[in-house]
Amino acid sequence: MNCLSCTNNELIDELPPRELVGADELWRASHAYDTALPGWLILVPRRHVTAIHDLTDEEAAALGSWQVRLSRALREVTGCAKTYIVQFAEQEGFAHVHFHVVPRMPDQPDDLRSYRIFGLLGAPPERAVSEADRDALALALRERLG
Ligand SMILES: [Zn+2]
């Protein structure tokens, strides 16, 4: 099976900070690799699950805590006004359930708010947040997560 989330879950002990903002036995958070927005996080179950209804009760209970803890950490680190949380898992090769946890900045232009925030994903390399910046953000977020 070719699944980036599963591949990284299996390599959890060797991942750079940007791929391991936080984790427990059920969930792992990383920084999105192709976004122009610093702090755009991805939260994935440690198991290959392709629909929310297939999460266990235990995974579901931990999910709420992860979403709120990541949102609090993003607010402290990025100064965002709020976070957006979105889940589709529809793109070819990305069926593994993944929640986008996205900081909405106070000065976010109107044309990049709400669902239009996805204009900041799929960024070309020259506009994407660099590996070094993603690692630095991940380490700062880790500290807030405790
Ligand atoms: Zn998977």
Which CATH number belongs to the domain containing residue 56 in this structure? Answer: 3.30.428.10
Distance 90 CA to ligand 1 centre (A): 13
Ligand 1 centroid–CA 89 distance in Å is: 11
Could you give the CA distance from residue 128 to residue 114 in angstroms, rounded to a whole number?
Answer: 20
What is the Å distance from ligand 1's center to 100 Cα?
Answer: 16
Nearest in space to 52 (alpha carbons), one of 19, 86, 10: 86
Per the structure, the complete domain to which residue 121 belongs is given by 4-12+19-145
Residue 146 has a pLDDT of 84
Partners of 103 in the beta sheet? Answer: 83
pTM for this entry: 0.96
- What is the mean pLDDT for each group of 10 consecutive residues in the chain (146 residues)? 91 97 98 97 98 98 98 98 97 94 98 97 96 98 95
Q: Report the separation in Å between the CA atom of 104 and the middle of ligand 1, taken as the mean of its atom positions.
A: 27
> What is the 103 CA–ligand 1 centroid distance (Å)?
25
Q: What pLDDT is recorded for position 1? A: 65
Phi then psi dihedrals of residue 87, to 5 deg:
-140, 120
Structural domains of the chain, count: 1
Residue 98 Cα to ligand 1 middle (Å): 10
Helices (H), the chain: 4-10, 57-78, 131-145
Q: Which one, of 46, 84, 40, lies nearest residue 63 by Cα?
A: 46
d(CA 71, CA 56): 23
